Amino acid sequence: MAYLYLLCIYYLIWTTRTNASLSTIGNVYYNMRYNSTDTIITSLTVKYQVVCAAQCANLFVNCNTAVFDSLAIPQCSLYSGRITPANLTVSISTIVYDFQQSKLPATPILHGWNKTGITVAGASNGSAGKAANLLSQPYGTALGSSNSLYIADFANNRIQRWLINESNGTTVAGLSNATAGASSVALNMPVSVVLDSNDNMYFTDKINHRVVYWANGASSGTTIAGILGISGSTNNTFNRPNGIARDSSTGTLYISDVHNHRIMKYLLNASSGIVVAGGNGAGTGITQLYYPFGFTFDSSSNSLLIANYRAHNIVRWVLGASSWTLVIGSLTGLSGSTSTLLNQPVGITLDSMGNIYVADSRNHRIQFFVAGQSNGITIAGVTGLSGNSQSQLSFPYWVTIDDQLNLYVSDYNNNRVQLFLHC
């Protein structure tokens, strides 16, 4: 893994020099600190100075100076003012970029990921199974405490907890022998799992048409939404629930009710939900959803970003609104494999800067979209090419990021979870 990480660093330096050569678009001051009374635009936590510079160059039109200080928290500060040598004092840990109204190219290297994945759960060759070291069609994932990864082992009817760098997983919900069931201890194709601060689990039990709460370390779970084994379209029933999100500040749950083409909101301890998106039948109209498999809650805009599976797009539905706005893909439901189109998107997540990551399942890739942009780049997998090599994916269904922006990808048809290191 260390070798791949070094390759990643080299790749970032090389692409910076060859694609965005920052020294050619403005004065670059190394090992100096910028003392300025100019208005600060924002401060960001980033990993590398080139990422800091790119935020200034491409995302903030009024930004002219980016200051990266490796010893500060947060490390990156963006200013509207421009600098001159008189503004600078020596500091070993600081790099300052003066863009002087120049900007990076339209598609800068904002982030980089190593294109070779590392199998962190399941068999690297794609073999399926129910043994502790195997998975069968892994779906949703969540990062827990103590360097752990929780995996909805879909076709094995269980939730597995997998410590990073371990070769075996542990069953923490459902039956370890992969038997399906409909009870407080048995599951039937769990899809998506979220955790609270104590690693208590909330997950969708798809074919049982319910949401389950399973306390950390418990031997059984409790149905907290839906009715065990009964499908329906009322406000207290589901028809194959899929994605789930939790507002940690209130305990509110959001659940994608896929075959009812809607997103439901359940307040803490509520026995019935509220339709907050869709619910107007399947379709591509702005008041409709079309198999909303995955979604994420965007607290900054009080909205849901929804992967509209059969409409092949990502839409934003502000809570309280009666319709969505298009974010990525086609308004009419057109699928495709270009940088602006998707083909059956499933999982979606956001980073702290509002950038979007999409598991573009039928294109066998993970697409990255800079906040506010609809033109993506492929950061994992090979567009249109399914395979089980370490650089390929086969129907990726979920993507999760850690605080260092490393990608954990549920490689559904390859029965494994792949880690793609952030550069």
Lowest mean pLDDT among 37-46, 48-57, 177-186, 243-252: 48-57
The string of pLDDT tens digits covering residues 47-93 is 666 667 767 665 666 777 777 776 777 777 777 775 444 443 433 34
Confidence of residue 111 (pLDDT cuts 50, 70, 90): low
Indicate the average pLDDT of the chain: 85
Q: How far apart are CA 400 and CA 254, in angstroms?
A: 18
pLDDT score for 15: 40
Report the C-alpha dihedral over residues 32, 37, 38, 44, rounded to 10 degrees: 60
Q: How far apart are CA 203 and CA 213, in angstroms?
A: 7
pLDDT score for 50: 60
Confidence of residue 378 (pLDDT cuts 50, 70, 90): very high
Report the C-alpha dihedral over residues 298, 303, 307, 309, rounded to 10 degrees: 160
Confidence of residue 101 (pLDDT cuts 50, 70, 90): very low
The string of pLDDT tens digits covering residues 353-370 is 899 999 999 999 999 998
In angstroms, the first-to-last Cα distance of the chain is 12
Q: How far apart are CA 129 and CA 137, in angstroms?
A: 9
Residue 99 pLDDT > 60: no
Q: How far apart are CA 363 and CA 332, in angstroms?
A: 19
Mapped to the 3 state alphabet, what secondary structure does the chain carry? CHHHHHHHHHHHHHHHHHHHCHHHCCCEEEEEEECCCCCEEEEECCCCHHHHHHHHHHHCCCCCEEEEECCCCCCEEEECCCCCHHHEEEEEEEEEEECCCCCCCCCCCCCCECCCCEEEEECCCCCCCCCCCCCCCEEEEEEECCCEEEEEEHHHCEEEEEECCCCCCEEEEECCCCCCCCCCCCCCCEEEEEECCCCCEEEEEHHHCEEEEECCCCCCCEEEEEECCEECCCCCCECCEEEEEEECCCCEEEEEEHHHCEEEEECCCCCCCEEEEECCCECCCCCCECCEEEEEEECCCCEEEEEEHHHCEEEEEECCCCCCEEEEECCCCCCCCCCCCCCCEEEEEECCCCCEEEEEHHHCEEEEECCCCCCCEEEEEECCEECCCCCCECCEEEEEECCCCCEEEEEHHHCEEEEECEC
The answer to whether the CB of 251 falls within 8 A of the CB of 216 is no
Q: Which two tokens stand for residue 218?
A: 């418990």
Residue 382 pLDDT > 80: yes
pLDDT score for 326: 98
Q: Would the CA dihedral through 248, 249, 251, 252 be positive or negative?
A: negative
Mean pLDDT throughout 316-345? Answer: 98
Mean pLDDT throughout 7-16? Answer: 41
Of the candidates 395, 391, 363, 389, the one whose C-alpha atom is nearest the C-alpha of residue 376 is 363
Amino acid at 196: D
Amino acid at 229: G
Q: How far apart are CA 417 and CA 419, in angstroms?
A: 7
pLDDT score for 117: 97
Residue 164 pLDDT > 90: no
The string of pLDDT tens digits covering residues 189-198 is 999 999 999 9
The string of pLDDT tens digits covering residues 176-217 is 999 999 999 999 999 999 999 999 999 999 999 999 999 999
Specify the higher pLDDT residue, 84 or 290.
290
Q: How far apart are CA 389 and CA 124, in angstroms?
A: 8
118-420 fold: Neuraminidase (2.120.10)
Residue 338 pLDDT > 70: yes
pLDDT score for 44: 79
- Phi, psi for 370 (deg, rounded to 5): -60, 140
Sheet holding 118-122, edge to edge: 118-122, 416-420, 407-411, 396-401
Mean pLDDT throughout 380-391? Answer: 98
Residue 37 pLDDT > 70: no
Q: Which two tokens stand for residue 89?
A: 């004092």
Confidence of residue 38 (pLDDT cuts 50, 70, 90): low
246: number of Cβ within 10 Å: 18
Mean pLDDT throughout 300-312? Answer: 96
Q: How far apart are CA 81 and CA 74, in angstroms?
A: 19
Entry pTM: 0.79
